[in-house]
Amino acid sequence: AQFVPPYTEDCRRGTYPPSGPTFKGIVPWYKINLDLAPRVRWNQLINDKKVELTSLIQVIKNLANDFFPSGKLIEIVDKSLAPLVDTLPSPFNEELKGIADVSGVPLGEVMLFNIFYEVFTV
């Protein structure tokens, strides 16, 4: 039955510790110091993941541009979502600004990434 959608397998056994084709790697640990100012507490992590974050945002922009080839949607995101950051409660507003500073990703696009889950509940 595994080869017929929905590809329902017999319950797996003995898969732990993780290995094999369904395991893509361990997740690295980072420390976030809440005693630091919100604007700088994500700096180390974002420095390390700057390339990956930029790549994800670019994929999202490409998808948006597939639907709106004029580039208007991303223009709206950059112009309209950035001021919205100031309406977020502390410390989230300052943290997003810090992430935009370090990553070089426009603030509106950082905001878009952070509200993705809300947007896709429809």
Interface pattern 13-52 for another protein (x via CB under 8 A): xxxx-x--xxxxxxxxxxxxxxx------x--xx-xx--x
Angle at which helices 107-114 and 43-67 cross, to 10°: 90
The CA distance from 13 to 58, in Å, is 39
CA angle 23, 53, 95 (to 5 degrees): 115
Contact in structure between 74 and 66 (CB atoms under 8 Å): no
Q: Among residues 40, 65, 96, 106, which is the contact residue for another protein, using CB under 8 A?
A: 96
Residue 90 near another protein by CB under 8 A: no
User: Tokens at residue 102, please?
Assistant: 């370090």
The CA distance from 1 to 14, in Å, is 20
Residue 115 near another protein by CB under 8 A: yes
Residue 69 near another protein by CB under 8 A: no
Residue 73 near another protein by CB under 8 A: no
Helical (H) or strand (E) element with 101: helix 92-103
Q: Which is nearer to another protein, 33 or 70 (CB)?
A: 33
Q: Residue numbers of the site for another protein (CB under 8 A)?
A: 2-3, 5-16, 18, 21-35, 42, 45-46, 48-49, 52-53, 55-56, 59-60, 62-63, 66, 80, 84, 87-89, 92, 95-96, 99, 103, 105, 110, 113-115, 117-122
